Structure 1
């Protein structure tokens, strides 16, 4: 799924605003929560400790009062002798003590050894049996005792009793019991208010409620298991605190021991944490308002300051991608967007420069291709002329060879005649005329041979000049091929630069990248074709140079042949002169016959050499003809390549013309 830049910026702004404010709000809430929790804990600890101390002080004060009263002689006498007089004295004493401590002590009781009430501050003759009370039994065993909360049998009220043994010497004769209305103790807890719903309660060591704001729970219900587990951890002077749930409400409680009881102070967590919750709610509200305002500002800023300029630049890139290189971004700011616009303008400028260079190179390539094609046509025509000339030379060489063979035959006959002349000197005169005619015939053949050799020499000269011209044209073609190679290299470099600029343009430069790639491929193919042409031209030059060398050697041999034939012609002249002298000097024939035979052998040998040279000349002509045909094929290939190069350059021009400059 495509996510727009605007959405990404909005998400980024949202995270930049929300996360710090959320963290700040969370830290503020956490710190305020901890501060309030510590404050509430300290408050509850202090109140629990203070309440425990008040209860302990109250109990201790009553204990001291009862301890002193248990030593009174009137009480002791009354227990030893329950006479009305003793009972009256004891009654007056305990009544006085109770009156002095009436705020703390509800009833003061004297029991006998059996646990029955003997006297209390309300009656001299009470009828109450306390023998089953645990605290009476413990006191009669000699221990000071504080009872649990009980319903008083004397007053019918909830209270606790403190019992001291009364002794006559070491003998226990009864107990002194001070009954305290438990309301005087629970008042300490009932006055405690914590927040809106917090309160205090009192339990015994087992968790039974001795006081609770809900009176239906007093002495009837025990605390929950969570509270009992904490109550069991309470030790004298050391508070225990923790959290628990009551009716799905989270609460915090602190427990403190007070004599036989456990004082618990509990507070509703949400109640005392309301300031922290208010801070949290205010923080959330401020954060939401800030986010809305910041997102609105971010939207306006991102739209006008970032998105709109980028959209404009994107539209320009699309036009550039379609080939319009006249577009320019308007730079009217001083930020990263402006740098991007400047870079875009620079890129368009570079691309425009590259395309212009490519177009110019394409035009040069087209012109070079046309010039190369024209040159190849000229070379082809010249090659055809050379081929025709070589063929003519070959035909003349064949004729020359036939003439030489004929001359050789004549010379053999002449040699035979000389041989015969030696044997038949006497018949020389009669045959001299015939010999002279034969010599004249031979001389005519020699003159024909000289003419043929001159023709061959002239043809060889023309062939050599044509080959030299061909060699010059081949060198010119080689220079043209080098020019094509240079142009192809420049075109490839320009295409590479264009590809780099297109890659920098990213997505919008893909169209231009394709064109640049086609230009690069075209230049590489042109370079390859040019290399093939260079190879063919090099081979053609090599063959032409070989042909020139061969023609040079052939020309030298022809010149030698002309010289030899000239010498032969001279020899025939000498023969003719000699025959003329034969008539007059028959006698001299025998003397010169041997020389004539040797001369005839030499002439035959020379004629054979001429035949060999002529055959070699013919073979060289055939080689030159074959090389000319190969050169013609190479030139045809060169022409086809030039035409193909021209077509490629035209295609390159069409591709470049797609751009608007």
Structure 2
């Protein structure tokens, strides 16, 4: 991949990845924020509707409470009619006129009926005459029992109003009537739900929502999805037609009487609605609202996506502009510099850097200036190497001629030294043979004296050992004597024992016999040991007299050997000196030949270096002022004669062929200069020829 592509990929690709990541994160953050706002709006709507319905019911609740505390209500219930009273009896009640006048004040567009239910008779005292079923007992109805049980306000389940009324559905709100904590009956009003239904319908239209109200028994108070207004519909009746997954859980959530959120999944298309429920205070009513989740996603997309796309487009355009500017100002100059480097790699050092690059004050300008300095320095170095190769080639030829002359003279000297060396070697061999014979005789005499001395010592040790043996045998004799006495004592004790000691007496007798035999054998051994000691002492005395004579013989032979060695040493020194002279001469001849060979090789290497350095093209005119003047090639010279030093005799044939190195002080201390040469054909040691080894002529 080219630098331009890498640069653009880095410049655009990395920010683009960052853009995608940040856009995704931003989109999700904004999505969650908008979703929370929508959920908060739905919760606010739910609470607003619940509070609105609660306010409407509070006004109606207050009416029934006011009826319950009226004195006329207490009076009517105290003297309540019978359960099956007729219209005449009703009209003849003394407080009837006042009751009607008072209770009808509570009748309005919402309240259709107001009445009392007597605890004593079960009769209904209504604000107008209505024919009731025969023996209609209000005490058995829920609108009577519920407030009595609660000892407070109670709302009935919704029911259908009589035909011809404006409100198709209604509820009864009832409240207990008491006097001095004694239950007299219940005050109740029947109200139509048209006002509440209209209020909720208006809220649905206002917020474009789906708001419904139920009782905790599942009876609908209102739902925008209910079109049949001829009967009261229960939520469980629609269970199968709702088309919801896990419908039992959904119904349980709706009718739980608690405020919470939940999801509703439609079985047909898998769409999801978010459900919210909340109870209406002081009632058994529940309000719910459902909001399609797809509408939330649509709002989020409509709000966030355009901003994200616009940001991406702006960033991409900015990156494109930056890439174009960088391509013009940086990449082109880098490619130009790369072209200069390719030219240099081909060997052409004669290049001119673009002045525009050199005049820049940034990294590109620094790179161009460094490249220009590098080409100038390379031209200077190549020029110097070329001149040095010429001088080396010329000097190597002169050294080769001088070395050849030195080799011829050394060869003649080596032949003469070889003849003298051969004669001295023959003389040295004869003297060496005499010295060897004397040395062997000396060794034999010394060995005989040492053996005699050791024999005397051995005899002495044998005498001592015989003495020890005699002592040990004496101990054995004492043990045998003691054993004999013990056996005798044992025989006596066995004789005393009589019949019981006979066996023991036999054993004691045998032991005594063995002890006597041991004592006899020990005496014989003692006698033999004494005779052996006497003989050994005589041999020791004779060996002691023989040792001094052998030692004297060894001393005389040693003196003869020393005289032969002195003669041999003198001859060896002469031979060594001749051999050393011969080695020096041969070494000089060999070194001359190697020097000539090395000079020729050096000249060939110099020519090869000149051919190699010609690969580079330089401008000699431009750099001529910078070239340093080199030394003139060396003059013809000869190697100085060194005095021959004595050296010890060398017996190793491999070491005889090793040349003698000239010892020189280190160049760092003396300031001397020279060249190191080595010949690989004969595996000779590396030698160093110094300038002082050459003599002008």
Q: CA deviation at 1:11?
A: 1.4
- Structure 2 match to 1:249: 272
* C-alpha distance in structure 2 between counterparts of 1:615 and 1:7, whole Å: 88
1:27 Cα deviation (Å)? 5.5
The one of 221, 240, 245 aligned to 1:210: 221
Residues 310/343 of structure 1: CA separation in 2 closer, same or farther (3 Å cut)? same
More helix by share: 1
Q: Deviations over 1:264-298 (max 9, x none)?
A: 34445564676654331221221232134124313
C-alpha separation in 1, matches of 2:304 and 2:79: 73
Secondary structure, in 3 states, of the residue corresponding to 2:407? helix
Provide the C-alpha distance between the structure 2 equivalents of 1:257 and 1:142, rounded to a whole number of angstroms: 17
1:125 alignment counterpart: 131
Deviation of 1:355 (Å): 3.4
Deviation, structure 1 residue 649: 3.1
Q: 1:134 aligned to 2:134?
A: no
| Structure 1 position 658 matched with structure 2 position 615 | yes
Residue aligned with 1:135, SS? helix
1:191-240, Cα deviation, whole Å (9 max, x unpaired): 21487632322233366543221116973226963574476473xxxxx3
CA distance in 1, matches of 2:379, 2:581: 53
SS of equivalent to 2:81: helix
**Residue matched to 2:375:** 348
- How far is 1:115 from its partner? 9.2
| Alignment CA distance shift 1:141-1:229 (3 Å) | closer
How has the CA–CA distance of structure 1 residues 373 and 267 changed in structure 2, closer, same or farther, with 3 Å as cutoff? same
The residue matched to 2:213 in structure 1 has which SS? strand
Q: Secondary structure at the match of 2:212?
A: strand
Number of the residue aligned with 1:324 = 348
Q: 2:407 aligns with which of 376, 380, 388?
A: 380
Q: Distance in 2 between matches of 1:386 and 1:336?
A: 72
Among 312, 316, 336, the residue aligned to 2:363: 336
Query: Superposed, which structure 2 residues align to 1:352-367 within 5 Å?
Result: 352-367=379-394
**Superimposed CA distance per residue, residues 498-544 of structure 1 (whole angstroms, 9 cap, x where no aligned partner):** xxxxxxxxxxxxxxxxxxxxxxxxxxxxxxxxxxxxxxxxxxxxxxx
CA deviation after TM superposition for structure 1 residue 383, in Å = 2.4
1:411-430 to 2 correspondences below 5 Å: none
- Where does residue 13 of structure 2 map in the other structure? 11
Q: How much has 1:375 moved relative to structure 2?
A: 2.9
SS in 2 for 1:344: helix
Q: 2:159 aligns to what?
A: 151
Matches of 2:586 and 2:13, distance apart in 1: 79
> Are 1:77 and 2:88 counterparts?
no
Tell me if the contact between 1:118 and 1:125 (Cα under 8 Å) persists in the aligned partners: no
Distance 2:52 2:176 in 1: 29
CA 22–303 in structure 1, closer or farther in 2 if over 3 Å, else same: farther
Which of 646, 650, 659 matches 2:603? Answer: 646
1:300 paired with 2:324, answer: yes
Instruction: Select 1:632's aligned residue among 589, 593, 611.
Output: 589
Q: Which moved more, 1:107-116 or 1:624-633?
A: 107-116
Shift of 1:67: 1.6
Relative to 1, partners in 2 of residues 1:655 and 1:271: Cα closer, same or farther, differing over 3 Å?
A: same
For 1:253, what is the secondary structure of its paired residue? Answer: strand
Q: Deviations over 1:34-84 (max 9, x none)?
A: 5x3486267436514532541442343233134235824245434358364
* Cα distance between partner residues in 2 of 1:196 and 1:145: 32
Residue-by-residue CA offset, 1:276-334 (whole Å, 9 max, x unaligned): 54331221221232134124313422432333222222222222222222334420544
The answer for unaligned runs of 5 or more in structure 2 is 240-246, 428-569, 619-697
Instruction: Summarize deviations over 1:73-117 as a string: whole Å, max 9, x none.
Output: 245434358364452368764586356332332223444569976
Q: Which residue of 2 aligns with 1:291?
A: 315
Distance 2:149 2:25 in 1: 67
**Which structure has the higher relative contact order (CA within 8 Å, separation 6+)?**
1
Q: Provide the residue aligned with 2:558 in structure 1.
A: none
C-alpha distance in structure 2 between counterparts of 1:623 and 1:167, whole Å: 154
Query: 2: distance between equivalents of 1:115 and 1:182?
Result: 30
Instruction: Report the Cα distance in structure 2 between the residues aligned to 1:319 and 1:241, rounded to whole angstroms.
Output: 80
Structure 1: gaps of 5 or more residues? 235-239, 402-612
> Does 1:87 find its partner at 2:90?
yes
How far did 1:151 drift?
A: 1.4
Q: Could you tell me which residue of structure 1 aligns to residue 339 of structure 2?
A: 315
Query: TM-score, length-normalised on structure 2?
Result: 0.53
Distance 1:299 1:325 in 2: 33
Instruction: Specify the alignment match of 1:589 in structure 2.
Output: none
Q: Mark the CA change 1:79 to 1:335 in structure 2 (over 3 Å): closer, same or farther.
A: farther
| Structure 1 SS opposite 2:261 | strand
Paired residues of 1:48 and 1:256 also in contact (CA < 8 A): no
- Partners of 2:378 and 2:265 lie apart in 1 by 80
Report the Cα distance in structure 1 between the residues aligned to 2:325 and 2:120, rounded to whole angstroms.
97
The match for 1:191 is: 202
Report the Cα offset of residue 178 of structure 1: 1.5
